[in-house]
Structure 1
Amino acid sequence: MKWYVLQFTATRFQTVFKHLENMGVQFYCPMDVSKCYRRPDNQIGFRKRPVPLFPGYLFVNVDFGSIHSTKITALPWTQRFISFGGEPVPISEEDLTNVLVFEKGRGKSPSSEQAPEVIVKSIPHELAVVLLEDNPEKRSMLLLRYLDERFRSSVEKTESLSA
């Protein structure tokens, strides 16, 4: 099984999560809890609302040999798997682990063992640029560009090895 990026309607993420859970599909949607909003019942109180780190995109662990991609994309509010060259592109475990490390480290305070700056320094520069983008929509587009560049470099390596 490999990890792929699934595009979905960003405002319906809870519904998409529930459908995937009901299908028994493993998924991972990194969440950003750094945004606060004022509580309606308490004017001096704030709440953190988790929102997807990449609005409209989540990572899905699936084996297309046992479940066809259209079975997942037929779910309400899902669109497509991100693909380059006509086929869905698998995401490397390393990239997924780096996103997870960033997500977990984002909520840490500077006084903790490993401050977020240290965590970001351990992530490759190209991916860190994506993860540190403040604008959520731009962050999603940077993720797609990053994945496209990774795909192109892997194709070039494969072609140079076969030549």
Structure 2
Amino acid sequence: MWYLLCFTATRFNYVLSFLDKENMEVYCPKRITRYLRPDKVNSYRDKESPAFPGYLFIKTDFESYHPSNFAKCRYIHGLVNFGGKPAVIKDEDIERVRKCEAGYQFEHVSSSDNDYQCDAWRNILRNDDPDVRLKKMIEYLNLQRKEAA
């Protein structure tokens, strides 16, 4: 199952290294932002950055890896919880995010997928403000949890 891990955003590489040592599958959606180069006129550079700074999707099984083990890394704050339970993210949602990140228009998503869910992820990732993207993602995951209950 996939979960959302919260960590200190400025310690991204340290946290990735820790999770790699723990044999954890990690997914971090990226965004490419374009900025004007200070050294050339009318020239731009692309910069890749995390879509949700301070958050990673991780795939783990609590039978083999207990969440308390995250305490070994001082920069990991823990899993995002709703109602005292870790927020579970469906494999389908991770696939939607991956396709959206890769620039797909969701035409390749199977017909069983709900258009609302595809549009929701597309709208989340299109937002330029990382705080707004994060807020919308948390709202979406909370809504999914309520619908599943």
**Coarse TM-score class (shorter-chain normalised):** 0.7 to 0.9
Q: Report the Cα offset of residue 129 of structure 1.
A: 2.1
Rg comparison, structure with higher value: 1
1:34 & 1:64 partners in 2: Cα distance? 36
State TM-score, norm by structure 2. Answer: 0.83
Query: Which SS does the other structure have where 1:35 is aligned?
Result: strand
Which residue pairs with 1:13 in the alignment?
Answer: 12
RMSD over equivalenced CA pairs, Å? 2.1
Q: Deviations over 1:5-54 (max 9, x none)?
A: 00111122122111111221110001112333526xx4355432221111
Which residue pairs with 1:54 in the alignment?
Answer: 52
Query: Which SS does the other structure have where 1:143 is aligned?
Result: helix
State TM-score, norm by structure 1. Answer: 0.77
**Identical-pair percentage:** 30
Tell which deviates more after alignment, 47-56 or 118-127: 118-127
1:9 & 1:78 partners in 2: Cα distance? 7
Bigger share in strand = 2
1:30 aligns with 2:24: no
1:134 aligns with 2:128: yes
1:140 & 1:121 partners in 2: Cα distance? 25
1:65 & 1:53 partners in 2: Cα distance? 29
Which residue pairs with 2:113 in the alignment?
Answer: none
Which residue pairs with 1:80 in the alignment?
Answer: 78
**Gap regions ≥5 residues in structure 1:** 106-115, 156-163
| From 29, 40, 45, the counterpart of 1:43 | 40
1:22 & 1:72 partners in 2: Cα distance? 12
| From 115, 118, 123, the counterpart of 1:124 | 118
Preserved contact between residue 16 and residue 77 of structure 1 (Cα < 8 Å): yes
Matched residues, number: 141
Distance 1:56 1:37, change over 3 A: farther
Preserved contact between residue 7 and residue 57 of structure 1 (Cα < 8 Å): yes
Q: Deviations over 1:113-152 (max 9, x none)?
A: xxx5x34896622222212212111101110010000001
**Gap regions ≥5 residues in structure 2:** 110-116
Distance 1:73 1:100, change over 3 A: farther
